[in-house]
Chains A and B, each alone.
Chain A
Amino acid sequence: MKRIIKLTINGKPVETAVSPNQTLLQFLRDDMNLTGTKHGCGLGDCGACTVILDGKAVNSCLVLAIQADNSEILTIEGLAQDGKLHPIQQSFVDKGAIQCGFCTPGMILSAKALLDQKPNPSELEIRTALSGNLCRCTGYQKIVEAIGEAAEVIRMREES
């Protein structure tokens, strides 16, 4: 039996019917066509499906779509504004933090959730915030550097 849910995705209100056993990941990818959210394991191990749900980074494969009723969701597609990359996206591009790109949306959203809470994180805090997002390509170094740089850009922007 499908159930109606109402939520906000990337700033847009959505009202739709979902199956009770459908994960938020399946809902976003299959029903909403938001394929930037990636399916890497389906078990909450890899973090490729990370989205921001009411301000918190979550593995969307471990959340049921009906649990997202009345929530606000940000996916990777909602981060750039007016065609301009978010500073975290920009620094991922600039610093070489992207290789295959499959972990990238989840990484960027985990980083966003971190910087929203802690605008000036230490390197250890960055690494800890990313520890649920696996990357097999980069060895994480350029990702950590990119987030450090994005934090600085965001702080400077807010000060000015």
Chain B
Amino acid sequence: MGDYQVLNTRATRVDGPVKATGQAKYADDFKFQGMLYASILQSPLAHARILRIDTSKAKKLPGVKAVVTSKEAGLIKYGVSPARYDETLFAHDKVRYVGDEIAAVAASDPDIALEALSLIKVDYEELPAVFDMFEAMKEGAPLIHDEFPGNMNAEVHQEFGDTEAALQSCDLVVDHTFLNKRQDAAFLEPHSCVAVFENPGRLTLYTSTQVPHYVMRTVAMTLQIPVGNVRVIKPYVGGGFGPKCEATPLEMSCGLLSKITGQPVKMTYSREQVFLHSRARHQFYAEMSLGVMKDGTMVALRNKAVLDGGAYTSFGIATVYYSGSLLGGPYKLKSMKYDGYRAYTNKPACGAQRGHGGVAHRACFEQLIDITAEKLGIDPIDMRLKNIMVTGDMTVNELDMSSLGMKECIEAIRAGSGWNNKKGKLPKGKGIGMACGFFVSGAGYPIYRSDTYHSTVVIKLSEDGGVANVMTGSAEIGQGSDTAMAMIAAETLGIKLNDVRVYSGDTDYSVDLGAYSSRQTLMTGHATKEAAEDVKNQIASYLAQELNVPVASITFVDGIVKFDGGPGNFEKLRTNYIKEHRGWTDPPTGEYLTFREAARMAYLKAGTIVGTGKYKPPRLGGSYKGAAVGTSPAYGCSAQIVEVSVDLETGEITVDGMTDAHDCGLAINKTSVEGQMQGSLSMGLGECLFEEVKFDSRGRIINPSLGEYKIPTALDMPKVKSIIVESHEPNGPYGAKEVGEGAIMPTIPAILNAIYDATGVRINELPVTSERLFMAMKNKT
């Protein structure tokens, strides 16, 4: 690694103190003069024709300021991918799931808003509904969208090489299936938004989102406000994990109601509404066959996916592509075939969640590798190492592994967990398992077709020259991106981290596509670095001219300026600086020219110092249909070993230890990298062992609370050994790449492989509750 002053350390987060003291403001913490409170009426039925909506009583309730339905909102279709805009703000002809939005109310008080909702009368004609993805695809199933026969929302067919022929040439072909359950992201902060519509026609949203840029575009489109008049400000966000990656009915309703009433409008979802809005992890069914040679060489993979999409598309097109494309590595394959189907059902729409599209299929594939290794009598680690990709390899579907420390990750967890002394040597009831995975460092293309830069950054120096203000539209959602950008700016400028301030999450600051697909470290990082270099060059050029020295002789390190590595002769500048600033309390001292002096003098000369940076990836990927999904300038990778104890009498599982190694390129902030790794493992553990959004026979969620939908507590998580593996990523800023999502890829299969090791029972359906494992053990004997 390079010789860094700021990067690659354990810096404390720039937002740590405000978050530790309760000063950090989240959307629901905002209050405005004259603010109204809004609420949304949601369908109690899973599938019904709307015959009539009567809002007259609600409108008459004292305190109600506006009631809106599709009549006021219009029927402009929106969604995530323009190819599948299938939602309108409010349902008009029919409702398609319990929770579908029908109307919204703004009132002077939240209780009045709720009372008004109860006064809206909707007449429905209930229609037959379908809740199971396989049922939905059958002939004669109730049709959810007229435009999509067979409830087929999206279909993907890809083949690289001749897979059937390759499978036939193999010594052994092993099959496996896998079924996960619909998940909820369970971020702690429910969606919340305050919309402020001001004359002449400008709308500002303060909203809990991962993607201010996309929210701006969607809200402008659906509310028919010129996009230049919509500003989205993301305050601190209490977690996103994917479902906050798209504009919500909450945001659009607040905007519309503020536009109509001329008053600020706030709405916050209840926890139940967070579950109803969903947009979280799909249910996936995976069916796979892996063909290998006797020596363990992997040859061909046949992969089929069925996704339960819920009632709308959301991110689903990308999801169904990812389930195929993210299996191309990190093992060498000669051929791969993928058939994916995403079905509409009468349930809340699913979307993106950490490890988008890849998690369930990775779980299936990594189990399949273990099953195959056992049949061949090969150690699971050796089996993987035999087929592992290395830096410079290209997957069969043309994903370029420009850096890949996968092998190093595997070696690190093997040593770190004591695998060699444990595998095959543990008593019955104890087990050890491993798995690998990789993920993109930012999607190679925006969601909509555009030549836009994915990130732009502006760095503006303060008038005194002492502070670099980094302005970016990127989204700090807890992952630590503000701190990472501050560190990159400080390193590049050669100043102290304390002398950088980050202003982020505002569409007025810059273009940034936001916090999804683990893109910000790489993409916003590039733009930040370039903006800082621009500032630095401006100051260096000024110094070169003033002091008559070559630009190349000037370096900035740790807040001071060096000339040919030494103090140089800068007396003239310091004298001028002191003359200029008589009476200021902090005159510069020391044998070196300070950055503040240099920047201040350059500022005086130029009038202002502003640097800009921008980034978009080069054209990536193959030319086949859907080649864009899965492309990225870089890929992070991860390997994990999990140790479990299983109570063989009851099926109760205890995860005793987890060892995780992740290659994130250069670790910008080691503490944050570990935080992402540990958080990913916790989410994966929850999905594997307890999480499942459950429905009754009429499509109503029966566990829409954090008491009934169980996520891991402090008592469920074992101690995690986190090992950071650093490769050098040529396409990343300072060699950095992702960590936020790749780290969840191996968790589920590593646990499942450990359970198999402990019990001899292969579980292929989540969550692995005690009951499920107990029944599986019982059926085996």
Q: Which A positions have Cβ atoms within 8 angstroms of B?
A: 29, 33-46, 48, 75-77, 79-80, 85, 89-90, 92-96, 98-105, 108, 126-128, 130-144
Contact = CB atoms under 8 A, between A and B. Distances in A.
B413 to A, nearest CB: 17
A142 B10 CA distance: 13
B706 interface: yes
Given A96-B10, A99-B480, A103-B238, 12 more contacts: A35-B26, A35-B28, A40-B189, A43-B271, A45-B705, A94-B12, A99-B675, A101-B236, A131-B715, A136-B187, A138-B679, A144-B714
B19 A46 contact: no
B707 A45 contact: yes
A40 B271 contact: yes
A92 B714 CA distance: 16
B239 A102 contact: yes
B263 interface: no
Contact of A41 (B185, B479, B705): B705
Contact of A77 (B16, B22, B715, B717): B22
A107 to B, nearest CB: 9
B275 to A, nearest CB: 11
Interface string B1-45: 000000000101101111111111110110100000000000000
B674 A96 contact: yes
Interface in B173-204: 185-190
Contacts of A43: 271, 705-707
B720 A137 contact: no
Interface residues of B, number: 57
Given A99-B679, A100-B238, A144-B714, A92 B271 contact: no
A136 B715 contact: no
B720 A139 contact: yes
Given A134-B188, A141-B717, A99 B20 contact: no
Contacts of A33: 31
B675 A108 contact: no
Given A76-B21, A96-B13, A142-B675, A103 B188 contact: yes
B671 interface: yes
Contacts of A93: 12-13, 16-17, 20
B115 to A, nearest CB: 14
Contacts of A98: 13, 15-16, 19-20
B679 A136 contact: yes
A101 B478 contact: yes
Contacts, number: 177
B480 to A, nearest CB: 7
Contacts of A44: 707
Interface of B: prevailing SS: loop
Interface string B220-254: 00000000000000001111010000000000000
A49 to B, nearest CB: 11
B706 A140 contact: no
A75 B479 CA distance: 25
Contacts of A95: 671
A101 B683 contact: no
B682 A139 contact: yes
The 4 closest A-B pairs by CB, nearest first: A36-B22, A100-B478, A102-B238, A101-B19
A139 B715 contact: no
Residue with the highest number of chain B CB atoms closer than 10 Å, among A41, A90, A101: A101
B713 A131 contact: yes
B21 A137 contact: no
16 contacts: A33-B31, A38-B26, A38-B188, A43-B271, A46-B188, A77-B21, A79-B21, A93-B12, A93-B13, A94-B12, A96-B672, A99-B480, A103-B238, A132-B713, A135-B188, A142-B678
A67 to B, nearest CB: 20
Nearest to B719: A141
Contacts of A94: 12
Interface in B703-734: 705-707, 711-715, 717, 719-720
A97 B24 CA distance: 16
Contact of A89 (B21, B24, B675, B712): B21
Nearest to A37: B22
Contacts of B26: 35, 38, 102
A33 to B, nearest CB: 8
Contacts of A136: 185-188, 239, 241, 679, 682-683, 711
B477 interface: yes
B180 to A, nearest CB: 18
B742 to A, nearest CB: 15
Contact of A142 (B25, B674, B712): B674
Given A36-B22, A100-B189, A139 B679 contact: yes
B773 interface: no
B681 interface: yes
Contact of B15 (A101, A134, A142): A101
B270 interface: yes
A101 B26 CA distance: 10
Contact of A100 (B28, B239, B270, B711): B239
A39 B266 CA distance: 15
A43 B188 CA distance: 13
Contacts of A36: 21-23
A128 B477 CA distance: 27
Contacts of B188: 38, 40, 46, 48, 100, 102-103, 134-136
A55 B475 CA distance: 37
Contacts of B189: 38, 40, 100, 102
B672 A40 contact: no
A63 B386 CA distance: 59
Contacts of A45: 271, 705-707
B679 A89 contact: no
A67 B271 CA distance: 25
Most A CB within 10 A of own CB, among B185, B675, B714: B714
Contacts of B25: 35
Contacts of B270: 42
B530 to A, nearest CB: 27
B92 to A, nearest CB: 31
Contacts of A35: 22, 25-26, 28-29
B20 A85 contact: yes
Contacts of B19: 98, 101, 104
A131 B717 CA distance: 11
B22 A76 contact: yes
A101 B683 CA distance: 17
A73 B625 CA distance: 61
A126 B715 CA distance: 9
A108 B21 CA distance: 9
Contacts of A141: 678, 717, 719-720
Contacts of B187: 100, 102, 136
A99 B715 contact: no
